[in-house]
Amino acid sequence: MTIQNSFCTFRVGNLHLGVEVLRVQEVIRAQKMTRIPGSSEVVRGLMNLRGQIVTALDLRRRLDLPETDTADGQMNVVVRTSDGPVSLLVNEIGDVLVVDRDQFEPPPETLLGSTRDLIAGSYKLDGRLLLVLNLDAVMKVAA
């Protein structure tokens, strides 16, 4: 019997990323945010999610990707962490993908610098590569 993993997928820049479905609370459209003076450039601000204050992280900045025009809109992937929900700002939401766990590979050698440290591994898909985001690493540096 093959063991499978399910991932909520999304695009940030030219990267196709995924987070384990069980870590995702919800996916929502761009929300109004309040900037936190003196915070890291990765922290885009705070947003009110039905009465709960949630920190929003710019995943593009966290992954050291080049600046882009944000006029194309952003989406929020709200994930569960040990400190409560955190929103990851992404460019586009993808599908939920189910992959065989035995096809998991280490991060590609082409990923360099801090981006490599934030990727737990990868899955080769038809015509693209799914990079699995290491949420714990993303949260540690952004904290």
Structure confidence at residue 141 (pLDDT): 53
Specify the number of domains making up the chain.
Answer: 1
CATH code, domain carrying 112 = 2.40.50.180
Reported pTM? 0.91
The Cα-based distances of 76 to 29, 54, 84, 111, 116 in angstroms read 6, 11, 15, 24, 22
How open is the CA angle 63-12-117, to the nearest 5 degrees? Answer: 30
Supply 82's token pair: 């040990």
Structure confidence at residue 132 (pLDDT): 97
Structure confidence at residue 122 (pLDDT): 97
Average pLDDT over residues 69-79: 79
Q: Domain range holding 130?
A: 4-142
